[in-house]
Amino acid sequence: MRDTIVHALASIVGAAGIRSAIDSKPPSRVIRTTHDTKPQAKPDISLSQWSAQTARQLRAGSPIGDIINCNFPVDLPSEGTTANRIHRALMSTRSEDVRLLLWVTHSVLTFGIPGGAAFERTADRLRAREQLRHDRELHSAPARLSARSLVALPIAVLVLLATTSTDVRSFMRTRFGIAILLIGLLFNECGRRTMRSVISPSHRQRRTQTSQELTDTLEEIALVVMAGVPLRTAFINVAPTAPASVQPMFEQLVWELNQGALLADALETFGENVGGPDQHVVAPIIEGQRNGSPMAQVLSDLVTEIDTARERSEAHYVKTLPVRLAGPLVGFSLPAFVCLAIVPPLASSLAGLSTSPISSI
């Protein structure tokens, strides 16, 4: 019947290709997916802005994996799952801000805590740190300018004298002149290095590295515990990625927990290992665990106390900066100015007087 109809249509229409058109199978639908092989450009925003933006996207229902693969602000290893890449980057980073962001991201991926609240708190913490650094740079700017001026002034005066006075140039060629010049340059370099160590935040942080990294690590624990991670789990998972200066203390705490010790007892030993200056940071956690207080609220209060302590430390730093700069000024910069800017013209003038006709009368 089918062949009869086809033949009839072919004879009527004269289309020789009707049979082949009917007998052929319809073309299969091919779905092509395009993959952008170009590396994603890093977002031109700060870590705090990215965290706040991510919190809004997560609350709107966007998957965190897509957000990380699209515009994560930190360079990640190219191989492995997203959680594994985040973990490897966390093990290798040294920046406290990047560590905080990676730790919270890793906790959201690993523990399944609400990402919106976690990244929102992370954005608040990063904004507080950025504001603290901005205030520090702003308040220390006059001191940095004064230090640079005190270092450059003796050399500038010496160059001006050597350019305009033949007597000074003659004096600088003598053995005594070369010795004075070397002593002055040595004093000037010592003054520059000493003032830099007093002013520069990086040099100041090296002296309190253990205390600073302990505070940062406890702040990381506080953020994920406030988002819903149990305190015991947070301590166990932070130990492998903790900074090198405090990692042995956290590893000892985890070892005691794995041996069956209660968290409160292990925290007591942890507080003893921390030492006197940082006891005030660990004491609220120990007391809250002993009393059965809600740890989210205890750690929230701890974060507030950490902020207050940092602000007090920065205020004390700014207030005492002129006093601490007086030592390098009197001990190094002033002798350097005498050797480089006062002794050469004075010595050349005295040498000129000794050879003048008046001195031979």
- pLDDT given for residue 3 in this prediction: 55
Q: Mean pLDDT, the chain, as a whole number?
A: 77
pLDDT in tens, 116-152: 888 888 888 888 888 888 887 787 788 778 888 888 8
- pLDDT given for residue 61 in this prediction: 87
Q: Write down the H helix ranges in 208-294.
A: 209-226, 231-238, 247-258, 263-274, 279-291
Residue 182 binned pLDDT confidence (cut-offs 50, 70, 90)? very high
Burial track 300-309 (b if 16+ CB lie within 10 A, e otherwise)? bebbeebbee
- pLDDT given for residue 111 in this prediction: 80
pLDDT in tens, 302-323: 777 777 777 787 778 778 877 8
- Give the residue with greater pLDDT, 25 vs 75: 75
CA distances from 171 to 51, 96, 153, 360 (A): 63, 53, 20, 21
- pLDDT given for residue 23 in this prediction: 46
Q: What's the rounded mean pLDDT across residues 262-279? A: 78
Residue 25 binned pLDDT confidence (cut-offs 50, 70, 90)? very low
- Residue 76's nearest CA partner among 40, 125, 119, 123 is 40
Task: Judge whether residue 10 has pLDDT over 70.
Answer: no
- Residue 218's nearest CA partner among 283, 276, 311 is 283
Angstrom distance (rounded) from CA 45 to CA 346: 57
Residue 208 binned pLDDT confidence (cut-offs 50, 70, 90)? low
Residue 44 binned pLDDT confidence (cut-offs 50, 70, 90)? low
